Amino acid sequence: MMELVGTDWVTFVAVTLVLSGGAAYMTGMAMANRWRPTWIVVGYSLLLGCADRFAVYALADGKLFLITGYLIDTAILMVIALLSYRMTKARNMVDQYPWIYERSGLFGWRNAREIEASDRGLPG
């Protein structure tokens, strides 16, 4: 497995998950706080994948031009960034429009008026 990412486990965890994963988490939060569309998070994740490959190369003497390493690292960073984006967007929707929405789990929100109407047996 480690030949696919071009480095050892310790470097993979330290650089990809901790260093670049933290950057991906903050990227997702920043894009959600600025009300940017989801596709921008994907674009930034692709760039973070390039930065991660360079960090692995520069800090741990890993392989720089390894397509499987880039794809695996970028996929992990993209998942982190998109989860962070969705979690922050859900919080922002409920905070910004408390009279319309209420929180529905960690990543979602729902229309509070429809819930009130269904509780009283009225059509939404």
Alpha carbons 38 and 35: distance in angstroms, whole number: 9
45 in a structural domain: yes
Is 98 contained in some domain?
Answer: no
Comparing CA positions, the residue from 26, 60, 100 lying closest to residue 52 is 60
61 inside domain: yes
- Average pLDDT on 66-91 reads 96
Print the domain residue range for 42. Answer: 2-88
> Does 94 fall in a domain?
no
* 110 falls within a domain: no
DSSP 18-34: IIIHHHHHHHHHHHHHT
What average pLDDT does the chain have? Answer: 90
The domain tally of the chain equals 1
- Specify if 39 maps to a domain: yes
Please name the residues in contact with 39: beta carbons below 8 A apart, sequence gap of 6 or more. Answer: none
Q: What is the distance between the terminal CA atoms of the chain, rounded to a whole angstrom?
A: 52
What is the reported pLDDT for 63? 87
